[in-house]
C-alpha cells in the first residue's frame, strides 16, 4: 500500500528511496494520490531549514536566509519542474504557434535562451517573495502565517497536476506523463484534491480562500494556453505549472498581507 507513496517520493524529490523493482503503470498512476502529501513534506522540510538557519546563523541577513531557503527548495526537488518550465518556455517561444514544432522543441533536452530566462526570472521572483515572507515572519503581529505559506505553496502546487490530468488529454503516446494517465484513480484524486482545498481553508482561513482562488485562476489560464497550443498536456507543461503555482501562492500571500 505504501509503494505508491515511495514512488511519488522518488519522483518528486531527491530524498534517497530504493524500490526493489520497477513500478508498473498502475502503481505510477496511483502515486498521484500522494503528491500533495509529498508537497506537504517539502514544505515542512523548508520550515525546518528556516528554523535551523535561524538557530545556527542568527545574525545572517534575511536576504541571505531567503537565498538559503530557495537553494534548499531547488535541491529537495532536484530541479525537475524547473526543467519542465525551461522546456515549455523554449517550445512556446520557438514553436511559433505550430503544435508539432512546439512538441518537437519541448522534447529536445537542450535549454535555449527562453528556457534560461524563464528559470532566472522565476527564481528571482521566488527569492524576492521568500525574502518578503521571512521579513513578515519577524513581525510580532503575524510570526507564523508567512511560514505557513511556505508549507502551503508546495502542497497546493503538487495538487495541480492531478487536476490537470483529470481534465486535460495527454498528447504524447509515450513520455514521462503517459504512465501517470494510464489507470488514473479518478475518484481517489477528486477526494484528495477536495481534502487539500479544505485543509488549506482550515489552516489559513480567509487567506487560504484567496490562495485557492489564485491557484484556480492560474490553472484555468494555463490549461487554456495548453489546449490552444498543443491540444492537451505533457509532463513538461505539468512541471512548469507546478513552478508557476508555487510562485503564484507566494505572491498572492504577499498581496494579502499588504492589504
d(CA 187, CA 212): 21
Band (216; pLDDT cuts 50, 70, 90): very high
Whose CA is closest to 165, among 142, 140, 183? 183
- What is the percent of the chain where pLDDT is above 70? 94
Residue spans of the domains in the chain: they are 3-258
Task: Classify residue 112 by its DSSP letter.
Answer: -
Whether pLDDT at 220 is above 60:
yes
Q: Give residue 142's pLDDT.
A: 57
* C-alpha Rg value of the chain to the nearest Å: 18
pLDDT value for 126 = 97
On the question of pLDDT at 120 being above 90, the answer is yes
- Is the backbone of residue 61 left (phi > 0), alpha (psi -120 to 50) or beta? beta
Task: Report the pLDDT averaged over residues 163-177.
Answer: 82
Q: Tell me the mean pLDDT in the region 97-105.
A: 92
| Confidence (pLDDT) at 256 | 84
pLDDT at 40: 96
Q: Is the pLDDT of residue 144 over 90?
A: no
Q: What is the pLDDT of residues 28-52, one digit of tens each?
A: 888 999 999 999 999 999 999 988 9
pLDDT (0 to 100) of residue 3: 86
Q: What is the pLDDT of residue 214?
A: 96
Q: Is the pLDDT confidence value at 25 over 90? A: no
Q: What is the predicted pLDDT for the residue at 1?
A: 60
- Spatial distance between the Cα atoms of 228 and 168, rounded to a whole number of angstroms: 12
Whether 259 shows a pLDDT value over 70: the answer reads: no
Residues contacting 68, CB < 8 A, separation 6+: 49, 53, 60
Q: Residue 213 above 90 pLDDT? A: yes
What does the alpha-carbon distance between residue 19 and residue 13 come to, in Å, rounded to a whole number? 14
The pTM score is 0.94
Average pLDDT of the chain to the nearest whole number: 89
Amino acid at each position: 500500500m505504501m509503494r505508491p507513496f515511495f514512488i511519488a517520493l522518488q519522483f518528486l524529490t531527491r530524498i534517497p528511496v530504493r524500490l526493489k523493482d520497477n513500478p508498473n503503470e498502475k502503481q505510477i498512476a496511483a502515486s498521484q494520490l500522494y503528491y500533495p502529501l509529498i508537497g506537504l513534506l517539502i514544505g515542512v522540510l523548508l520550515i525546518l531549514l528556516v528554523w535551523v538557519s535561524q538557530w545556527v546563523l542568527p545574525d545572517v541577513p534575511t536576504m541571505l536566509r531567503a537565498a538559503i531557503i530557495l537553494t534548499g527548495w531547488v535541491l529537495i526537488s532536484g530541479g525537475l519542474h524547473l526543467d519542465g518550465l525551461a522546456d515549455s518556455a523554449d517550445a512556446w517561444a520557438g514553436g511559433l504557434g505550430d503544435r508539432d514544432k512546439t512538441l518537437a522543441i519541448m522534447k529536445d533536452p537542450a535549454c535555449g535562451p527562453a528556457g534560461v530566462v524563464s528559470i532566472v526570472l522565476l527564481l528571482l521572483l521566488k527569492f524576492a517573495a521568500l525574502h518578503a515572507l521571512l521579513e513578515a515572519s519577524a513581525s510580532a503581529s503575524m510570526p507564523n502565517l508567512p511560514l505557513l505559506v511556505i508549507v502551503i505553496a508546495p502542497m497546493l502546487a503538487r495538487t495541480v497536476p492531478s487536476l490537470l490530468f483529470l481534465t486535460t488529454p495527454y498528447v504524447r503516446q509515450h513520455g514521462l506523463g503517459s504512465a501517470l494517465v494510464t489507470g488514473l484513480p479518478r475518484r481517489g484524486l477528486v477526494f484528495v484534491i477536495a481534502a487539500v482545498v479544505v485543509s488549506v481553508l482550515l489552516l489559513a482561513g480567509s487567506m487560504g480562500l484567496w490562495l485557492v482562488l489564485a491557484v484556480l485562476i492560474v490553472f484555468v489560464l494555463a490549461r487554456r494556453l495548453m489546449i490552444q497550443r498543443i491540444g492537451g498536456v505533457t509532463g513538461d507543461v505539468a512541471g512548469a505549472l507546478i513552478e508557476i503555482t508555487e510562485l503564484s501562492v507566494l505572491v498572492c500571500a504577499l498581496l494579502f498581507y499588504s492589504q
